[in-house]
Protein backbone atom coordinates (compact mmCIF):
# COMPACT_ATOMS: atom_id res chain seq x y z
CA UNK A 1 0.00 0.00 0.00
CA UNK A 2 0.83 3.71 0.08
CA UNK A 3 1.76 4.14 -3.55
CA UNK A 4 2.36 7.48 -5.19
CA UNK A 5 2.55 7.83 -8.95
CA UNK A 6 3.82 10.63 -11.14
CA UNK A 7 3.07 11.40 -14.74
CA UNK A 8 4.91 11.79 -16.98
CA UNK A 9 8.04 9.95 -15.91
CA UNK A 10 10.12 12.07 -18.25
CA UNK A 11 9.50 15.01 -20.53
CA UNK A 12 11.54 17.00 -23.04
CA UNK A 13 10.29 20.42 -24.01
CA UNK A 14 11.39 23.56 -25.80
CA UNK A 15 12.42 26.64 -23.87
CA UNK A 16 9.45 28.91 -23.19
CA UNK A 17 6.81 26.20 -23.03
CA UNK A 18 4.92 25.09 -19.94
CA UNK A 19 5.00 21.59 -18.52
CA UNK A 20 2.50 20.00 -16.16
CA UNK A 21 3.47 17.16 -13.83
CA UNK A 22 0.83 15.12 -12.01
CA UNK A 23 1.23 13.48 -8.62
CA UNK A 24 -1.35 10.96 -7.45
CA UNK A 25 -1.72 8.95 -4.28
CA UNK A 26 -3.17 5.70 -5.57
CA UNK A 27 -4.39 3.90 -2.49
CA UNK A 28 -4.61 6.53 0.20
CA UNK A 29 -5.76 10.07 0.71
CA UNK A 30 -2.90 12.47 1.14
CA UNK A 31 -3.85 15.45 3.24
CA UNK A 32 -0.62 17.08 2.28
CA UNK A 33 1.61 16.68 -0.73
CA UNK A 34 5.11 18.01 -1.18
CA UNK A 35 7.13 18.88 -4.26
CA UNK A 36 10.89 18.49 -4.38
CA UNK A 37 13.54 19.17 -6.98
CA UNK A 38 16.82 17.34 -7.29
CA UNK A 39 19.77 18.37 -9.42
CA UNK A 40 22.46 15.82 -10.38
CA UNK A 41 24.64 14.70 -7.49
CA UNK A 42 22.64 16.81 -5.05
CA UNK A 43 20.07 16.08 -2.40
CA UNK A 44 16.36 16.75 -2.63
CA UNK A 45 15.34 20.35 -2.21
CA UNK A 46 11.85 21.05 -0.95
CA UNK A 47 10.02 23.44 -3.25
CA UNK A 48 6.55 23.70 -1.78
CA UNK A 49 3.92 22.21 0.49
CA UNK A 50 0.53 21.58 -1.06
CA UNK A 51 -2.69 21.17 0.90
CA UNK A 52 -5.95 20.14 -0.70
CA UNK A 53 -8.20 23.08 -1.39
CA UNK A 54 -5.78 25.77 -0.33
CA UNK A 55 -2.85 27.69 -1.73
CA UNK A 56 0.53 26.06 -1.70
CA UNK A 57 3.25 27.24 0.65
CA UNK A 58 6.51 27.85 -1.16
CA UNK A 59 10.01 27.60 0.25
CA UNK A 60 12.24 30.60 0.21
CA UNK A 61 13.71 31.24 -3.21
CA UNK A 62 11.07 29.28 -5.13
CA UNK A 63 9.04 31.45 -7.49
CA UNK A 64 5.35 30.74 -7.00
CA UNK A 65 4.43 32.30 -10.35
CA UNK A 66 6.85 30.04 -12.15
CA UNK A 67 5.99 26.82 -10.34
CA UNK A 68 2.21 26.68 -10.17
CA UNK A 69 0.80 24.09 -7.80
CA UNK A 70 -2.80 22.94 -7.77
CA UNK A 71 -4.08 20.44 -5.22
CA UNK A 72 -7.52 19.64 -6.59
CA UNK A 73 -8.31 16.62 -4.44
CA UNK A 74 -6.91 14.45 -1.67
CA UNK A 75 -5.31 12.22 -4.29
CA UNK A 76 -4.04 14.64 -6.91
CA UNK A 77 -1.60 17.51 -6.97
CA UNK A 78 -0.14 19.09 -10.09
CA UNK A 79 3.00 21.13 -10.63
CA UNK A 80 3.19 23.33 -13.71
CA UNK A 81 6.55 24.71 -14.70
CA UNK A 82 5.65 27.83 -16.66
CA UNK A 83 7.85 29.26 -19.39
CA UNK A 84 10.46 26.60 -18.75
CA UNK A 85 14.11 27.36 -19.35
CA UNK A 86 17.15 25.07 -19.51
CA UNK A 87 18.03 25.84 -15.89
CA UNK A 88 14.69 24.29 -14.87
CA UNK A 89 15.92 20.94 -16.16
CA UNK A 90 15.87 18.71 -13.11
CA UNK A 91 14.34 15.70 -11.43
CA UNK A 92 11.02 16.60 -9.80
CA UNK A 93 9.69 14.35 -7.06
CA UNK A 94 6.43 14.56 -5.18
CA UNK A 95 5.34 12.92 -1.97
CA UNK A 96 2.06 12.35 -0.18
CA UNK A 97 1.58 12.26 3.56
CA UNK A 98 -0.19 9.28 5.08
CA UNK A 99 -1.51 9.83 8.57
CA UNK A 100 -1.32 6.73 10.77
CA UNK A 101 -2.56 7.45 14.24
CA UNK A 102 -0.48 10.28 15.56
CA UNK A 103 2.35 9.71 13.08
CA UNK A 104 2.84 10.84 9.54
CA UNK A 105 4.85 9.07 6.88
CA UNK A 106 5.68 10.52 3.50
CA UNK A 107 5.56 8.26 0.48
CA UNK A 108 7.38 9.39 -2.62
CA UNK A 109 6.58 9.15 -6.28
CA UNK A 110 9.10 7.77 -8.79
CA UNK A 111 9.99 11.24 -10.03
CA UNK A 112 9.70 13.12 -13.30
CA UNK A 113 12.81 13.99 -15.25
CA UNK A 114 12.44 17.30 -17.10
CA UNK A 115 14.80 18.37 -19.86
CA UNK A 116 14.34 21.82 -21.32
CA UNK A 117 16.11 22.43 -24.60
Where do contacts with another protein occur on this chain (CB under 8 A)?
2, 6, 34, 36, 42-46, 49, 91, 93, 95, 103-111, 113
Closest CB to another protein among residues 7, 82: 7
What minimum distance in Å lies between the beta carbon of 15 and another protein? Answer: 23
Q: Is the peptide bond before 8 cis (omega within 30 degrees of 0)?
A: yes
Cα separation, 39 vs 45, in Å, equals 9
Closest CB to another protein among residues 14, 51: 51
Cα separation, 116 vs 108, in Å, equals 24
What minimum distance in Å lies between the beta carbon of 42 and another protein? Answer: 8
**CB neighbour list of residue 117: distance below 8 Å, 6 or more residues apart:** 12, 13, 14, 15, 86
Closest CB to another protein among residues 86, 103: 103
What minimum distance in Å lies between the beta carbon of 87 and another protein? Answer: 19
Give the chain's largest Cα–Cα span.
Answer: 46
What minimum distance in Å lies between the beta carbon of 28 and another protein? Answer: 13
Amino acid sequence: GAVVSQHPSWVICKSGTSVKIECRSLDFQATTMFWYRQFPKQSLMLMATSNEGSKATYEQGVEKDKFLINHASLTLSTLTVTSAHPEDSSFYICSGTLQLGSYETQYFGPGTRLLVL
